[in-house]
Structure 1
């Protein structure tokens, strides 16, 4: 272990002094170790290891971008593993607290989906006609004709904010009327 760390330190010193082959050798040497550490960290956190390669790439990128901050008189491995630990923590924070469960294991106990009741096109058209003219025109333009809010505002000589309000109110009214049936 100590031998490996001394080798990495020597390679990093050579890389900083401009030896690109030493830098390449260093990256090849540390990558499998970082990959194993990322997988181990994800496993400990109860996360799937499928993101370990992304974490390794983040670590290598950070090493590359921050290599000028490494103190050449210090050993390389502690500096590298501090970056690795921080990148793993960042990745876990981005993912949040998620628990992954294979849903196939529960297929027998999950209830089937209840059928969703839908209104017919005729019912929707009848209820749409009962809305105030402005709401009806906005809903017709956006929901039926697939026009944008901007185009609808220009067509109906309204502000975009007024179109949004009319759309929201129209959808709320239409939904309430269709639920009553």
Structure 2
């Protein structure tokens, strides 16, 4: 079981037992995962994402007694979110262009290797100045466009492109000095 699954499961069980603070925390934490999930899948750039988050949380609250504690909580919650998204798209007469059945997008599993990889990545990026590191993280790790990352980090679009190119080139020079050799 992933840390996220354990976290949500513990909060859900406490909430079902009457712990109001745990229930509020569950809904709040879950909302943080649902917002980007919906925003990435909406045709309007995510304008309806918050409405879908609230609708999903209302259903989770109303149907909480139907969750089987023998089953993963995240799968149950994701199924509700997926159905809310499908209903929304149908109301708009749209068809989704991305696969809808990948719960991993909502609750990605983390392994020990992921932590080690993240540590290695952090050490590599630590060679760069903070603004350049954040720009690379936004574009390459968070999936923002160069324009979005530039605005977020206070660059002009052309300066962001140049900074990304130079940063990646300097990292390649340190970590892949033999570019001419076959890999």
Give me the TM-score of the superposition, normalised by structure 2. 0.49
Give me the TM-score of the superposition, normalised by structure 1. 0.50
- Whose helix fraction is larger, Structure 1's or Structure 2's? 1
Query: Bigger radius of gyration, 1 or 2?
Result: 1
